[in-house]
Structure formats: structure tokens, C-alpha cells
Amino acid sequence: MPNWLAIILFLLVVLGAATGVISGAVWSAGFLPAMPGWLIILLKIGIIVFGFVMLVASLMTLVGDRKQSAKIQNRIGPNRATFFGQSLGGLPHFIADGIKMLFKEDIVPNGAHRTFHMVAPALIFIPALLGFSVIPFMDEYCSTGAPMVTPNYPFELCPNGEWLNYFQVIDLNSGMLFAFAIASIEVYGATIAGWAANNKYSLLGGMRSAAQMISYEVSLGLSLAGLLLIWGTLDLNEMVRLQGKLFAGWIPLWGIVIQPVAFFLFFLVGMAETKRPPFDQPEGESEIVAGYFTEYSSMKFAVIQLAEYVATVFLATLTAVFFLGGWQVPFLFADGFHFGGIGAQPDIALPYAVVIAMRIVAMLFKVLVVVWLQFMMRWTYPSFRYDQVMTMGWKIVLPLSLANFFVTAFIVLII
Amino acid sequence: MEIGNYDALVIFTVLAVGVATLIVLLATYLGPTNPTKEKQIPYESGSDPIGSPRDSRFSVKYYMVALSFILFDLEAVFVIPWAVSWRQSEMLGHGLYSFGVMAIFVSILTLGLVYEWSQGGLEWD
């Protein structure tokens, strides 16, 4: 079997399995309210973390980081580890790596601060995972059947007004602030990891990562201010709902349509925040070995790597939520497709369960597209020099995001 | 027992901390431990390290970045609530006033950025 076919098959199988698991949870919503609250929360966390985050992160490590880079560089990529004689697009390598890492020796260098050396990987991993608690993966679920569709905003009304929230761990009305607050804690992990290892390369990498992350964090918030001005809410699910509005009946008012400059700024800043190449100077392979995780081995190293992938997925998810319409499918409302404005009858009628499944798959698909785009950029462009990264952050991205915000405010004031 | 919003956050936090702690502890106790003198030396491309990194100096530029970060992150902290509540102030008829106040605030901080730029505070040469 050719490799690309195996990859596509693997992708389809995994996507299908995830969709099945999530839709199954939806179908069982009838007896979910009878279950104790903590069990529902555990289910939510399990589905979101293992069905979504780990799925995309492992797809990235496997397909994005290895197979796709191999294709770009005209190599074959990992194919030696096999499972019953099948290379399965390199999937066994992913599992073999995990097992190998677990049984490697954990080396702590002389003079390292043992506690901080141990705490730092966890401190990078925990916030990366916690950020997903406010991400909406589907709209709230109407327990009594399909919601009614109305021509004006909120578009969907539950007949008895009871919405059940199964696809967001916490429905915070300040969700965006929470997500950014959690995301910025990662700076501490990287800096502590760099300091604790008693290695000059690590210290340099830690300093670099701290400086780079805080530099771009300023623009991360400011580039979104224009969108917040237009939407007037910090609730992530509310934001996605607002993106279901149609302009002239045909153009979905996604974030990328109303704030195109902010999308490019946010995408750029997201790549810099997650220290992905071409912004990988905190790791700086050719100058400071591996930056702040030079002295990490065994599973601690794997945790740092995994946390970086999870952080990348998180920023991609935020991009999808803010700019690509989150779980919205264009023209799709609770009873089917309405082309050219919401009429009394849908142009293509669909059952509510199909709509739910389509929305979940749309969210997954959008995140995968953003992640794929980041990987293409990673393997296409050479890395920046460190002074170029910092100069770009302060002299180009920050003034641009300020200008974007100011112009948006001015236009909104005039209109 | 009624499960509120923030209880979910507590459960998620406990799970995340638990998983992270478990993995790090597994890393420490599952693998073999046979430390040798050479293995424990901090890796500096094969040569023996001279001096401790804790005593070594690093560029003052990082300090400048931290200072600028505090300034402009505070700006973001003030600008984001302003942006979110702008619709309400417009509905009350204070739209132009609100915009003017924000414009003055952002202009002062932008002047600060221009000054820092002109004084070379953003150079990394």
C-alpha cells in the first residue's frame, strides 16, 4: 500500500472514530441528565482532551512533523516500525517512541535545581491542557429536539428554553480572558526549565523564550481588540454564534471577513507564541543545541514536546474560534441549509443529529487546516535570526495591531 | 450534589495536574539509574563547562523587553474591556466621548513606543 493512501486512510479512520464517539455522547444525551454531574464533567473532559486535543496533537507529530516534512524534503520518512507487517503510514513509530521515552534514563545534570528541574515540564504541560476548558466544540444542545430557526440573531431557539451544555467544559462569560491568562502561564515553565538545568545553553534558551513570548503576547490581545469592539462579548460560544450572521444573505460574517488584517496578525503571533519555526529561536538548534530543554531526557523531554504540540493546537483552535467561525458551517442552521437568507423552509432539510455531527466535524476540520498551514510554513521558510524576531514583534506587529484596532474603532464610530 | 461551572474547572485542574505529575514521576522512577561522572556534566557541545551559568551575565535587552511588556500589556488590559463595553456606551449616547478618551490614552502610549524606538530601546544589535 502506498504511504499517502495509508495516511489518508488513517486520517479518515481517526476522524470517523472521533466523530462517532462525540456523536454517541450526543445521542446518549437523553440519559445524560440522570447521571451524576461529576461523571458528565469527566466525560466532557475525556472526550475533549483525548478525543480532540490528543488526536490532533498526535496527528501533528505523526503526519505533520514526520511524514509531511519527509514529503517536502523528498524523503520517505519513518517506515521501519511495522504493525503486523504494515507500516500504517508511520503510526507504530509514534507508539514506539512513547514507550521508548518512558524507559529511558532520566539524567539530571550536576548542580541542577532538582525540584525546579522536575516541576518545569509539568508547569508547561498543565496550562497547555487547561486552556481547552473554555473552547466551545459545538453549540449548546437543545434537549427537547431540534430548535426552532428564526430569521434574526440568535437564529436558534429551544422550544422550552432549556439548553444543555455538553461541548464546553466551562461556559465562562469571560472565556477569552481566561484562555489568554492560562496561555501566558506557560512562560514560567519555559523560563524555570531554562534556569533549573545549570546549563548555559538552557539559560539562554529560557531567556529567549520568555522575551519572545511576552513580546508577542502584547499583540495577541491587541490584534483581537477590533473583533471585541464589533462583537461586544468575551464569551467564546457567543462569539461563534455571532459568526453565523450572513451579510446580504450570502457572505458569512466570520472573523476573517470582518477583520482580515487581524487574522494575519493573530496567525503570525500564534506561531511566534508557540515557538514554532520560523520563530524557533528559543530552541535555536544551530546555536544553543535545544534551548531551554537541552538538559531534559526521557519522559520529561516528551512532556515538553507534547506540551508544545498541545499549545500549537490550542492557538490553532483559538484561531478557528475567533476567525474561521468555530463550529459554524456556512448557511447551516439547526434544521438544514438556508441559502440566501433564512426562509421559512430550509433549502436542504437535515435532521438535528446530522447538523450536530457536521458542526463537530467542521470544528475539527478547521483546526486541522490551521495546524496544517502552520506546518507547511514551518517546513517552507527558513528561521529568523533572534534580533529579527524581536524587531518584528515590536516594530511591525505591535504598531500594525494598534493601527488595526484604531482604524476599526474609527470605522465602527462612523457607521 | 449540584455541580456548578467552576467545579468543572477544579476537576479539570486536578486531572491535568495529576496526569502531569504522574508522567514526570514515571520518568524519574521507571527508567534505569546508573549515573556516571561524564554523564552528569552539563552538555556544552563536548567541552567542560567553565563557570556556572547562574553567575554569568546576560544582555540588558531582556530587561528592556520586560519593561516594555509591562507598559503595553497594561495597555491591552485597559483596551480590551473598553472594546467589549463600547456598544453599551454608544447606546447611552457617549460613543464619541468614549472614543475620544480611548484615542488620547492609546496616543500617549503610542508616543511612548515612538520615543523608545527613537532612543534605540528596541534595537537588538
Hey, is A333 helix, strand or coil? Answer: strand
Name the pTM for this structure.
0.86
Start-to-end Cα distance in chain B? 61
Which of the pair, A238 or A150, is modelled with greater confidence?
A238
Give the residue, A116 or A7, on which the prediction is more confident.
Answer: A116
Predicted pLDDT at B2? 47
Q: What is the pLDDT of residue A263?
A: 92
Which residue type is seen at A169?
V
Backbone angles phi, psi at A168, to 5 degrees: -150, 125
Q: Which region among A36-40, A67-71, A117-121, A371-375 has the lowest average model confidence (pLDDT)?
A: A36-40
- Looking at A41-50, A356-365, A386-395, B28-37, which range is the least confident one? A41-50
Q: Which of B12, B52, B102 shows the shortest C-beta gap to A409?
A: B102
CB contact under 8 A, A37 and B39: no
Q: Scan residues 36-75 of B and list those with Cβ closer than 8 Å to A.
A: 39-45, 49, 52-54, 56, 58, 61-62, 65-66, 68-69, 72-73, 75
CA dihedral A98, A102, A107, A112 (to 10 degrees): 90
Instruction: Count other C-beta atoms under 10 Å from residue A144's C-beta.
Output: 11
Identify which of A115, A122, A165, A157 has the alpha carbon closest to the alpha carbon of residue A140. A165
Is the CB of residue B125 less than 8 Å away from at least one CB of chain A?
yes
Cell numbers 508544545 correspond to A308
Query: Could you please report the per-residue DSSP string of A225-288?
Result: HHHHHHH----HHHHHHHTT-EETTTEE--HHHH-HHHHHHHHHHHHHHTT-TTS-TTT-HHHH
* Shortest Cα–Cα distance, A23 to chain B (Å): 21
Q: How far apart are CA A343 and CA B81, in angstroms?
A: 37
- Check whether A111 has a pLDDT greater than 60: yes
In this structure, which amino acid lies at residue A357?
A: A
CA distance A122 to A117: 10
3-state class (DSSP) for residue B111: helix
A252 beta partners: A246
What residues of B are in contact with residue A42 (Cβ under 8 Å)?
11
| Closest chain B CA to residue A389 | B124
Q: What is the pLDDT of residue A29?
A: 56
List, in sequence order, every residue forming a beta bridge with A86; answer none if it has no partner. A83
What is the pLDDT averaged over residues A44-64? 72
% pLDDT > 90, chain A: 4
Q: How many CB pairs under 8 A join A and B?
A: 216
Phi (first) and psi of residue A147, to 5 degrees: -70, 160
CA distances from A270 to A126, A247, A264, A390 (A): 19, 28, 10, 15
Q: Report which of A270, A183, A190, A398 is spatially closest to residue B65, judged by C-alpha positions.
A: A398
CA angle A167, A369, A131 (to 5 degrees): 40
Could you tell me which residue, A15 or A336, shows the higher pLDDT? A336
Are the beta carbons of A263 and A347 closer than 8 angstroms?
A: no
Q: How confident is the model at residue A266 (pLDDT cuts 50, 70, 90)?
A: very high
pLDDT value for A1: 41
The pLDDT of residue A5 is above 60: no
A166: pLDDT strictly greater than 80: no
Confidence of residue A319 (pLDDT cuts 50, 70, 90): very high
Gap between the Cα atoms of A80 and A86, Å rounded: 9
Report the chain A residue with the minimal C-alpha distance to residue B52.
A198
Q: What is the pLDDT of residue B26?
A: 81
* Model confidence pLDDT, tens digit, residues A368-415: 888 888 888 888 888 888 888 888 888 889 889 989 988 888 888 887
**Average of per-residue pLDDT across A352-367:** 80
Full DSSP string of A111-134: T--HHHHHHHHHHHHHHHHHGGGG
Which chain A residues have a beta carbon less than 8 Å from that of B102?
A: 409
Give the pLDDT band (50/70/90) at residue A9.
low
pLDDT at A28: 54
Q: Which residue has the higher pLDDT, B117 or A284?
A: B117
Contact criterion met (CB < 8 Å) for B53 and A198: yes
**A200-209, B52-61, B63-72: which range is least confident on average?**
B52-61
Concatenate the DSSP letters of all residues of B75-105 into one string.
HHHHHHHHHHTHHHHHHTT-HHHHHHHHHHH
**Any B CB within 8 A of A200 CB:** yes
Q: Is the pLDDT of residue B84 over 70?
A: yes
The single residue listed with the C-alpha cell 474561521 is A324
Average pLDDT, chain B: 82
Q: For chain A, give the number of residues.
A: 415
Does residue A249 register a pLDDT over 70? yes
